[in-house]
Structure formats: structure tokens, C-alpha cells
Amino acid sequence: MKTIERKIEIKGQEIPYLLKRKWGVKYIRLAVSRRGELIATLPLFSQTKSLENFIESKTNWILEKINQARKNPPGLLQRGNRKKYLRNKERAREIILKRLEYFNKFYRFQYKKVSIRNQHSRWGSCSSKKNLNFNWRIIYLPQKYLDYLVVHELCHLKELNHSAKFWKLVAKKIPDYLSVRKRMLKL
Ligand SMILES: [Zn+2]
């Protein structure tokens, strides 16, 4: 697949877009990414002229989508892609294992597998089978948030809920967890 950066003028605005040509694609496809980039995917041998006509027929939709994306800048959890995930996965694992070991000297809970995932919805989770999952994007987290996250998932090994008992357990290592949690929701 080849990607070229191009520009097109829509209603007096110069709009940059990524042009991709892909084997197996039958029709022109337009998409606006969460970051507000316009992406056009074309069949391998189609003309650029037909793309420009197509874009012109969709100008309202495109401008609306781009404005939407600009109004809601992507949070930390929306950043990065699969390539970055693969590149940073082991680094994330190393960081997480170190902090798990550190805090578990205190808690002494049993856990099985630690997985590093590429999700856009959550920083971490704990399963009833006592497996811990963390998002690779923790590499971007300030230490304070990272520690809160690790303690949070660790405590789920004991309390698989968000009860008062659970928070009491968290507070043993992160006394100001409430404010950390609030700030983390805005990342
Ligand atoms: Zn939780």
C-alpha cells in the first residue's frame, strides 16, 4: 500500500489529505480520523480526478467531521496505533512488572498473567481468573498515575468491585487516590 500526502481546496479551505491506494479496494472510501485527518482510499488503478470529484460531492460531510474532531481533541488513550503498540509493548511490560513487584511487596496478592494491550477504552483491568491487563500507553503516564493504576488493578485481585472495601485497600498505598483518579479521567 502506498500513501501520498495531497491537498484539495474545499470551499476556500485548503484541506490536506492522505491518499492511499490499496489492492482489493473496489470503491473510493473517505474517512476522517479521530485526529481530524482526511483519508482517501482508492482502488489501485483508479484516477485521481475521480477522487477529486468524489471529495467535492462530500464536502459538507468532510468539513463537519473535521470540525467535530478538532472540537474533541484525542485524549491520551486515543493516541498511537498498532505499530507504536508493537514497538512499545515490551517497554510497557517492563515498567508495569517493576511497579507490580514493588507494590505487591506490601499487598502480597496472587496474580497469574500480565498482558499488555492496545485498547482505546481503558488503562487496565483485572479478570476473575486473576490475570492483569494494562494498556501500553502507560509509558506516557506520569509516575503518580502509573502507581495509582497499578495499585488499583492489584487491589482488584482481592476485591473485584469498586466497593468501600476496595477503595480502603487502594488508599493504603495511594492515600490521595480520589484526586489522582479524577485527574486521570481527563487525560
Ligand atoms: Zn477498577
Query: Where does the pLDDT of residue 112 fall: very low under 50, low under 70, confident under 90, or very high at 90 and above?
Result: very high
Average pLDDT, stretch 164-173?
Answer: 98
Average pLDDT, stretch 39-64?
Answer: 90
Whole-number Å distance, alpha carbon 123 to ligand 1 midpoint, is 10
pLDDT above 70: residue 43: yes
In angstroms, the Cα distances linking 78 to 62, 72, 123, 135, 162 are: 21, 11, 11, 11, 25
Whole-number Å distance, alpha carbon 134 to ligand 1 midpoint, is 12
- What would the CATH number be for the domain defined by 78-185? 3.30.2010.10
pLDDT above 70: residue 73: no
Average pLDDT, stretch 49-63?
Answer: 91
d(CA 138, CA 27): 38
Whole-number Å distance, alpha carbon 158 to ligand 1 midpoint, is 11
Whole-number Å distance, alpha carbon 73 to ligand 1 midpoint, is 25
Whole-number Å distance, alpha carbon 110 to ligand 1 midpoint, is 17
pLDDT above 90: residue 157: yes
Q: Where are the domains of the chain?
A: 2-73, 78-185
Q: Which of 38-52, 67-81, 109-123, 148-162 has the lowest mean pLDDT?
A: 67-81
Whole-number Å distance, alpha carbon 80 to ligand 1 midpoint, is 24
Percentage with pLDDT > 70 across the chain: 98
Average pLDDT, stretch 58-78?
Answer: 85
Whole-number Å distance, alpha carbon 104 to ligand 1 midpoint, is 17
Strands (E), the chain: 2-10, 13-22, 29-32, 38-43, 114-117, 124-126, 132-135
Whole-number Å distance, alpha carbon 159 to ligand 1 midpoint, is 9
pTM metric for this prediction: 0.66
Q: What is the pLDDT of residues 137-153, one digit of tens each?
A: 999 999 999 999 999 99
